[in-house]
Amino acid sequence: MPKYNFRQLSNLLAKWGQSKQQLPVNNDTFKEKVISTLKPGYAPTVAPRRFTFVRLSLASVAGLYAIFLIVSPYVNQKFTAVTSYPESYYDTNMGDLGLGYAATTGLGEEQTSALYKFTDRIDFTNSTPITDTREFLKTGYQAKIKTRKVQQLGGQIQTMVRGYGGRIDSSSLNSKYGNISFVMPKSALESFQNELKGIVSERFLDESTSARNLLSRKQSVEKQTDSTQTQLNDYEEKRDALIKDHDSKIASWNKQINTLTVSINVLNQEVTTDTARLADIAKKIANLNYSKNLLKQNIANENNLYQKNLGYYDSSISSIKSQLTNLAERDQAILDDVETVSGSVSLRFVSVIEMIDLYVSVRYVSIGLLVVLVAYLLRARKQDDFVLP
């Protein structure tokens, strides 16, 4: 037995009725009787459509959800912005980093005082002259990867880093998340990126690079080197002057001692029997010996002072030379740092739904389905199948 619904039955009866349309013989009589029975002011009423309230409710919910899907990204962007603090929170004096607001920061008076002493030694001014156009760019590399195999891909990336002459500084991997920090030669970064793109699709890879000029550090080391070199030159000049002055004094005193010695020898060689002359000779020899001893004492004192000062200069010069060696190592370390890349790779497990969303946005698919649902709910009519007798 064939099945029909209301619409099919309506069409079937309409076609049958059109084929059988004819007026009865007493049509006018029947028409007058029907009109005479109608009450004045009668207006036909339309029966309410079934399930209208349910359809409108579902359509309203679907519409609100669609609006939520559209608006939610902008709402999230607004609320995830950096929190702005009241103007009173900030200090106009950059020298203390706003540490005066102990109540706001939670610091006590003792901690705040200690931090003031520390920040007083910090130079907050930018002393890099614009005329120095040298660039010592330190490159940074970051990559975010979505994958179904976090641990396996993480191990492969570590092998790649070591293969390009790099070093793993830290690594943390599990089934859901992973993070790898590494350092590699700057010349190998491009090859590493190309290989990484070969094993990870661009849809699942987010890369970023950064560069920071280390010119201020280089200039700081150069200024310290110049200052230390000037100090070294000054100490070496003072040392040379000390040696020259010491040698001059010792030579002069030794010359005087030799002169006194000659005088004493002359007096000792004088032959006389005169008692007065002998007494005078003895007195002169005693005075000459006294002067000679004073000169010898001066030489001894000068030698002691000379050795002390010479030791001070030698120690200072050795320390300054050590500082220059350290500064040279720091300068070379900056150059070596420029030729390396500090990188990090973070990995996150991605679900099937997220993978689909990377190709076709689930948001827009959901909105499309909701629009279709709303249209269906507004236009659909319940049509039950029934069997004709």
Q: What is the pLDDT of residues 106-140, one digit of tens each?
A: 555 455 455 444 444 444 445 677 888 999 999 99
Phi then psi for residue 158, to 5 deg, are -60, -40
If pLDDT is split at 50, 70 and 90, which confidence band does 89 have? Answer: very low
If pLDDT is split at 50, 70 and 90, which confidence band does 374 have? Answer: low
- The half-sphere exposure of 81 on its side-chain side, counting CA atoms within 13 A, is 8
Q: How many CB atoms lie within 10 A of CB 281?
A: 16
Task: Report the relative pairing of strands 177-185 and 205-213 from DSSP bridges.
Answer: unpaired
The three-point CA angle 184-188-191 to 5° equals 130
Per the model's pLDDT, the better-predicted residue between 54 and 285 turns out to be: 285
pLDDT score at 130? 85
CA atoms of 65 and 148, how far apart (whole Å): 30
Q: Which residue in this structure is represented by tokens 């076709």?
A: 360
Entry pTM: 0.56
Helices then strands, each counted (H, E), the chain: 11, 7
* pLDDT at residue 362 tops 60: no
In angstroms and rounded to an integer, the radius of gyration of the C-alpha atoms of the chain is 52
- Map out the domains of the chain as residue ranges: 218-338
